[in-house]
Amino acid sequence: MDPDERIERHGRRSELMRRSGMNLRKWLMNTFAVPVLRRMPIDRATNFVESIGRWEYDRVPELRRHIDQAVAEAAQRMNASWDLSTTARNLSGRLTRWRLRDVLLDGPDADRALNAFEIVGGEHLEQAMAEQRGVVLLSNHFGGHILPAHWMLRKNLDFRFLTERPRHLSKSLETYFSSTGTMGQQEMFVSRKKKGNDGVASIIRSLRVLKSRYIILVASDVRWLDNQSVTAQFLGEHWKFTPIWAILAQRSGAPVVSVYCSMLPGGTHRLEFAEPRHIAPNADISELVQQELRQIEARVLADPENANDYFFWALDHSPAAAELRVITPSTDTSKSMPSPHFGIESPVLRK
């Protein structure tokens, strides 16, 4: 066996061991810890969860090296002046919290859940809803990306999630997401396993939902490969991203409101709603995607502990990631405009 093959085999074995450890931790957390944590005050439950992540960072050398490498390389690409060791350790705690999604907010006590949110710019969402054309609520994977959905659920707002079906959610959201029918959430989920014109159908369903004055929650940073994908730069690398949010806003006339959810110490989540805007019919879709990614980059630079898995994209050399990574971005590809007929075929979402 040559040295390169030994290194590759060792890497695969290490990755399997790391994933096995993560799966065991998830099982222990979901089976034993979560039922207890949901009964605790949110600040105490959150502090406990983050302490588990930091403990793993301190005690598991392989995990620590992996996170240290991801943070160090991201800092170099972004020319950031973070304290690398502190950032990596705290990020490990936040990652554990992030993977629990909205589970710690679950339960019948709506006030307990709503008190965990600090709302900034809520009037911007109200302004957009007042137009009565639906709202494209543009989220991302910075911070607690599932939490805007939980907040809207607690506020009794009509919304649908345009994404792959999320996993490891609260029972409250799972129940909400099980709705079916013409306006049901089940039909809004997109699966990379589906074939044919599922992407076209998703857009048609989404336009119908917007026409019914619902909010559509869709992420701006989903790496996605199909004939509508645009090339954009993010954290120093070029990737293929879906522009579906911009297409929907352009075709429907619905206002776009960007939302960011920062995970704060003590279990608090800051939801920040930007001012509503409209996408012009002749707008450059690729540039819109790039602008939104720049906004996320600025937040990552200022608060790397809310970066979640962004830093690990660069370390992913799997075939799926290779499909989405653009080594030499083509000017023609990055500036191509989406088809006016929504010709999306065989969507492949990568998050």
Q: What is the 3-state secondary structure (H, E, C) of 268-331?
A: CEEEEECCCECCCCCCCHHHHHHHHHHHHHHHHHHCHHHCCCHHHHHHCCCHHHHHHEECCCCH
pLDDT given at position 350: 38
Quote the DSSP letter at residue 179. Answer: -
Domain boundary among 79, 105, 131: 105
Asked whether 218 and 201 are in contact (CB, 8 A), the reply is no
pLDDT given at position 336: 39
pLDDT given at position 57: 98
Contacts of residue 127, defined as CB under 8 A and 6 or more positions apart, other chains included, come to 275, 276
pLDDT given at position 338: 41
Asked whether 208 and 192 are in contact (CB, 8 A), the reply is no
Measuring CA to CA, how many Å separate 61 from each of 14, 46, 64? 12, 24, 5
Domain boundary among 52, 70, 105: 105
pLDDT given at position 21: 53
> Does 283 lie in the same domain as 212?
yes
> Does 124 lie in the same domain as 101?
no
> Does 73 lie in the same domain as 21?
yes
- Mean per-residue pLDDT, 7-26: 54
> Does 126 lie in the same domain as 232?
yes
For the ranges 149-158, 225-234, 342-351, the maximum mean pLDDT occurs at 149-158
Q: What's the structural domain count of the chain?
A: 2
What pairing do the DSSP bridges indicate for beta strands 230-234 and 215-219? unpaired
DSSP string of 33-44, one letter each residue: IHHHHTTS-HHH
Residue 288 has pLDDT above 50, yes or no: yes
Domain boundary among 70, 90, 105: 105
Write 240-244 long-range contacts (CB < 8 A, 24+).
Answer: 240/323, 240/324, 240/326, 241/289, 241/293, 242/347, 242/349, 243/285, 243/286, 243/288, 243/289, 243/338, 244/162, 244/199, 244/202, 244/203, 244/206, 244/218, 244/344
Residue holding tokens 């989405």? 324
Single-letter amino acid code for the residue at 208: R
Quote the DSSP letter at residue 31. Answer: I
Does 114 or 35 have the greater pLDDT score?
A: 114
> Does 130 lie in the same domain as 55?
no
> Does 237 lie in the same domain as 123?
yes
Reported confidence tier of residue 35, pLDDT bands at 50, 70, 90: confident
Spell out where the chain has E strands.
117-120, 135-139, 159-161, 215-219, 223-224, 230-234, 237-241, 256-263, 269-273, 325-326, 349-350
Residue 7 has pLDDT above 50, yes or no: no
pLDDT given at position 4: 44
Asked whether 217 and 146 are in contact (CB, 8 A), the reply is no
SS3 260: strand
> Does 171 lie in the same domain as 142?
yes
The model's pTM = 0.86
Q: How far apart are the first and last CA of the chain?
A: 36
Q: For residue range 86-97, list pLDDT tens digits in order.
A: 999 999 999 999
Domain hosting 17: range is: 3-105
